[in-house]
Each structure stands twice: as structure tokens, then as C-alpha cells.
């Protein structure tokens, strides 16, 4: 006999405005317990130092986590000039100092090299694996190692404020981007050293701060039904993917893992210029049913949601 899952079958996204000091996994687990949900995950780790958007998935929404993680991220951050730390942020020990303080013109000139396609070396205190070991474990043990540069895309980089001791920036970049590495590299390009002293995520994928609520507020609400006002439908994580709505008979076929033919020209036309490797959101009566691939006039299910 299969074991009964603990918790309730609750499905959706909760967008948390994470407080400083909280671990991302701890935050997701507290949300799960608050809703008494069967399972939870999150759409991209935030360092304990960081605040802002942490998207927490409950139940079947966890199947859409990769789509949130793959989306662009937007941050504001402050770089303090004059010191390099072991972690490239204020939590690490100071390793080296510099008396050089860049001018605003120096900072703006350096920024030009960090727009568009760039190569970025991750911080040594990171989750990157080196010969099967996490870089942060090797760094903690005092191991000598180097991390390879990785291609990244910076969609937008703006200087929000400047002072000789520190500058504040806003950046929108691709997944896997390290703001701590950007802060380090901007300082180096200015002929000095630097590290992050504050970091706030404004958006991740389709979710932003306007949708966010603090964990503390949710916990104050307790088990009241008002909690569910903050639960976003799993389909919101799939924004921007072409969608098609099936009738109930077609939906039964797809729910059972079978392909569905699209013979209605109006439906095929709604998909636009789509290739065989592209994904389609499938709904029934407007409710999320599956993710599928469209090939040779058929929708082949690749992930079915039990909602």
C-alpha cells in the first residue's frame, strides 16, 4: 500500500519578500508548513545577506520551477570600495584593502564593459562544483583552486547613486549571474577593490516585488483563509509560452499521456510560428493541464499537471 502524502494538495506560487538573514530553503519550508502543503520548492536561491523576491512553489507548481529559474533576474546592490573579502560580500573576511576611491566618471566608464555578453568568473564562495566538490566547501577548507569564466548576458546595468566610498546599481541579467562577482569586477576595473554590502532582488522570471509579501506577514495571518489570497496559479510561471485550450474530451486524452491532434485552424494559428522543439501551455476551460510539444499537427504532452 502506497504511503499517504503528508500535508494538503495545495498548488500555486507564493512570492515572498525575503528578509535579510533568512536562508532560501528555510523560507520555502516555513511557507510549506504555513499552508500545510505536501511539497515546496523555490525559483532561485537568495543569499542570506540578500532581500527581495523569493518565489516559493507549492505542490504541482514545483513542476514549473525551472521556468522561473531560467528567467532573467533584476537586482539593486551596493558596492563598497576599498576592500576585497573572501566571499565578495560583507559576510566574508577582509583579505585585502586599497586606498583608491574611484570617481563617478571612473565608475561609469568601467560599467561599459559589463553590458551585453560578458564572461564572468563566479565567486569562490559559491555553489559551483569543482571536481565534484562545492566551491564554498573548498574555500572554507583553504583549498587553492580557480573557477572558469562563464558566458553571461547583462540586459541592463544602471548607476543609481554614487559616493566616493560606495555606489548603488541596478542590474538585469540572465540566470546563473553572480552580483557579487559583478561588484568585484567593477571595482577592479576602477583600479580598486570592492564588495557587496547590500543586495535586493526586484524580480525573478515573471514575478516581481509588487506581488510579494513578507514571510512575517503571512505567519501573522496564521491559518486564516486570507492566506490563499496570496497564492498565485501555477500557470503564472509559464508566462510568454504560447497557449492553447482543449475541449474536455481532448483533455482526457492528454491527461492520460496521449497526444492530441490540432485540426482546428484557429487553434494552430494562435500558436504562431512554432517549431517541433518549442513548448506549448495546454489548458482546459482556462485551467492549466499540461506542457506539450507541437509536432506534425499534434500536441505531445511532456509534463501533465494534476490540478
Q: Which residues of 225-254 are buried (b: 16+ CB within 10 A; e: fewer)?
A: eebeebbbebbbbbeeeebbbbeeebbeeb
Residues 6+ positions from 31 with CB-CB distance below 8 Å: 14, 16, 37, 40, 56, 58, 215, 218
List, in sequence order, every residue forming a beta bridge with 204; answer none if it has no partner. Answer: 73, 207
**Cβ–Cβ under 8 Å, residues 232 and 211:** yes
Catalytic residue among 47, 88, 89, 185: 47
The span from the CA of 167 to the CA of 180, in Å, is: 14
Please confirm, yes or no, whether 278 is among the known catalytic residues. Answer: no
Q: How many CB atoms lie within 10 A of CB 116?
A: 11
| Residue 111 C-beta-side C-alpha neighbours within 13 Å | 20
Q: Measured between alpha carbons, how far is residue 162 from residues 80, 105, 154, 190 in Å? A: 11, 10, 21, 13
The closest of 243, 285, 277 to 262, measured between CA atoms, is 243
Nearest of 67, 73, 66, 70 to residue 47 by alpha carbon: 73
> Three cell numbers at 170?
541596478
Write out the DSSP string of 245-281.
Answer: EE-HHHHHHHHTT--EE---HHHHHHT-S--TT-EEE
Backbone Cα Rg of the chain: 23
Return the active site residues.
47
Amino acid at each position: 500500500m502506497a504511503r499517504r502524502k503528508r500535508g494538503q494538495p495545495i498548488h500555486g506560487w507564493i512570492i515572498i519578500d525575503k528578509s535579510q538573514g533568512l536562508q532560501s530553503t528555510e523560507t520555502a519550508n516555513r511557507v510549506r508548513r504555513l499552508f500545510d502543503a505536501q511539497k515546496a520548492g523555490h525559483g532561485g536561491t537568495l543569499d542570506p545577506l540578500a532581500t527581495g523576491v523569493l518565489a516559493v512553489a507549492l505542490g504541482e507548481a514545483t513542476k514549473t520551477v525551472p521556468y522561473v529559474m531560467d528567467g532573467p533576474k533584476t537586482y539593486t546592490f551596493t558596492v563598497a570600495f576599498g576592500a576585497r573579502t573572501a566571499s565578495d560580500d560583507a559576510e566574508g573576511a577582509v583579505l585585502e584593502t586599497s586606498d583608491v576611491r574611484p570617481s563617478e566618471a571612473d565608475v561609469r566608464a568601467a560599467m561599459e564593459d559589463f553590458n551585453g555578453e560578458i564572461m564572468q568568473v563566479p565567486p569562490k564562495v559559491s555553489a559551483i562544483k569543482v571536481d565534484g566538490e562545492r566551491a564554498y566547501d573548498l574555500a572554507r577548507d583553504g583549498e587553492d583552486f580557480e573557477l572558469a569564466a562563464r558566458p553571461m548576458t547583462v540586459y541592463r546595468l544602471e548607476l543609481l547613486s554614487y559616493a566616493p566610498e560606495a555606489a548603488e546599481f541596478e542590474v538585469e541579467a540572465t540566470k546563473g549571474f553572480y552580483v557579487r562577482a559583478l561588484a568585484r569586477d567593477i571595482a577592479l576595473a576602477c583600479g580598486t577593490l570592492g564588495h557587496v554590502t547590500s543586495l535586493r532582488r526586484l524580480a525573478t522570471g515573471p514575478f516581481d516585488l509588487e506581488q510579494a509579501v513578507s514571510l512575517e506577514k503571512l505567519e501573522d495571518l496564521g491559518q486564516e483563509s486570507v492566506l490563499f489570497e496570496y497564492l498565485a496559479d501555477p500557470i503564472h510561471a509559464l508566462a510568454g509560452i504560447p497557449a492553447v485550450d482543449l475541449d474536455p474530451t481532448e483533455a482526457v486524452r492528454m491527461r492520460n499521456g496521449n497526444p492530441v491532434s490540432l485540426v482546428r485552424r484557429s487553434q494552430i494559428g494562435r500558436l504562431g510560428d512554432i517549431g517541433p522543439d518549442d513548448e506549448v501551455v495546454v489548458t482546459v476551460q482556462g485551467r492549466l493541464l499540461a506542457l506539450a510539444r507541437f509536432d506534425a499537427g499534434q500536441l505531445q504532452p511532456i509534463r501533465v499537471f494534476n490540478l
